[in-house]
Amino acid sequence: MVAGFLKEDASALNTLKCCRSWMSQVRPTSVIVLCVDRDNDVGEVAGVQTPIIGEEAVKRAAVEFAAKRPDDSDVNAIFAALKLYHQLREQGGMSDVEVALVAGHKDEGVKADMRISEELDAILSVKRFDAAVLVSDGPTDEMVLPLIQSKLPVLSVHRVVVQQSRGVEESFILFLRYARRLFEEEKYKKYAMGIPGGLITMYVVLSILMP
């Protein structure tokens, strides 16, 4: 069994420091912790409808998604957003802290960004916030940062990195799983052909054998 461990404590600490620094200059009264799933895995896999706002609602969505795809990095990102939400509330200094989950489209690109923009507008039409903290599991989700910044200030970007603990046999199984996704899933096929695909495959193999 592949065990995943969150390596985000240092990132969370940096996020909290950034928040304190920003608040010392311009103190916000309300902050939203925003988790972004740009390719909408939560919707495609678990049928979760976004946008979702509020601790309990986001927690339910995370559990439903984890039950369907426990090894997806988006699961860790959602739970990291919940953890950061609690940390900011305990830190104090703000009258209101909220957590929300928004998603894009499976094809990513413009479709995804348009949907994320619409979902964020829907959240802000119900409740306004002085600033946001973006939580993501990688650079793809962070591509929406300019879009979010066009609607409200972003205090910090909190990236969640998952480190896999595995043996040789488990590493091989994991490699086969991701190799299959590389050639079967439409959004990854473009990386699987030619020299770039070969280099990526070599990188994946080496990263698995030498974690």
Per-residue pLDDT of the chain (211 residues; tens, 9 = 90+): 333 434 445 555 555 555 555 444 567 789 999 999 999 999 999 999 999 999 999 999 999 999 999 888 899 999 999 999 999 998 877 789 999 999 999 988 899 999 999 999 999 999 999 999 999 887 777 789 999 999 999 998 988 876 554 555 555 556 666 666 665 565 555 555 554 655 666 665 555 555 5
User: What is the token pair recorded at 126?
Assistant: 């119900």
User: Could you tell me if 132 and 154 are in contact, meaning their C-beta atoms sit under 8 angstroms apart?
Assistant: yes
User: What angle, 0 to 180 degrees and rounded to 10, lies between the N-to-C axes of helices 168-184 and 194-209?
Assistant: 160
User: Could you tell me if 83 and 134 lie in one domain?
Assistant: yes
DSSP 8-state symbol, 6: E
DSSP-based three-state secondary structure for 188: helix
Question: Would you state the pLDDT for residue 209?
Answer: 55
Q: What is the pTM of this model?
A: 0.68
User: Could you tell me if 46 and 141 lie in one domain?
Assistant: yes
Question: Would you state the pLDDT for residue 204?
Answer: 59
At 2, which helix (H) or strand (E)?
none
User: What angle, 0 to 180 degrees and rounded to 10, lies between the N-to-C axes of helices 9-25 and 73-91?
Assistant: 40
User: Could you tell me if 125 and 92 lie in one domain?
Assistant: yes
Q: What are phi and psi of 58, to 5 degrees?
A: -65, -40
User: Could you tell me if 61 and 110 lie in one domain?
Assistant: yes
Tell me the C-alpha distance between 26 and 12, whole Å: 21
Q: 174, 192, 175: which is closest to 183 by C-alpha?
A: 192
Tell me the C-alpha distance between 36 and 113, whole Å: 11
DSSP conformation letters of 121-183: HHHHHH---SEEEEEESSHHHHTTHHHHHTTS-EEEEEE--EEEE--HHHHHHHHHHHHHHHH
Residue 197, Cβ neighbours under 10 Å: how many? 16
Question: Would you state the pLDDT for residue 111?
Answer: 93
User: Could you tell me if 97 and 52 lie in one domain?
Assistant: yes
User: Could you tell me if 135 and 190 lie in one domain?
Assistant: no
Question: Would you state the pLDDT for residue 136?
Answer: 87
Question: Would you state the pLDDT for residue 101?
Answer: 97
Q: Residue 105 belongs to what domain range?
A: 3-162
User: Could you tell me if 145 and 172 lie in one domain?
Assistant: no
User: Could you tell me if 173 and 147 lie in one domain?
Assistant: no
CATH of the domain at 18: 3.40.50
Q: What are phi and psi of 140, to 5 degrees?
A: -65, -50
User: Could you tell me if 103 and 175 lie in one domain?
Assistant: no
Report the domain count for the chain.
2
Question: Would you state the pLDDT for residue 126?
Answer: 92
Tell me the C-alpha distance between 166 and 22, whole Å: 40
Q: Domain boundary residue among 141, 162, 183?
A: 162
User: Could you tell me if 132 and 174 lie in one domain?
Assistant: no
Number of H helices and E strands in the chain, helices first, is 10, 7
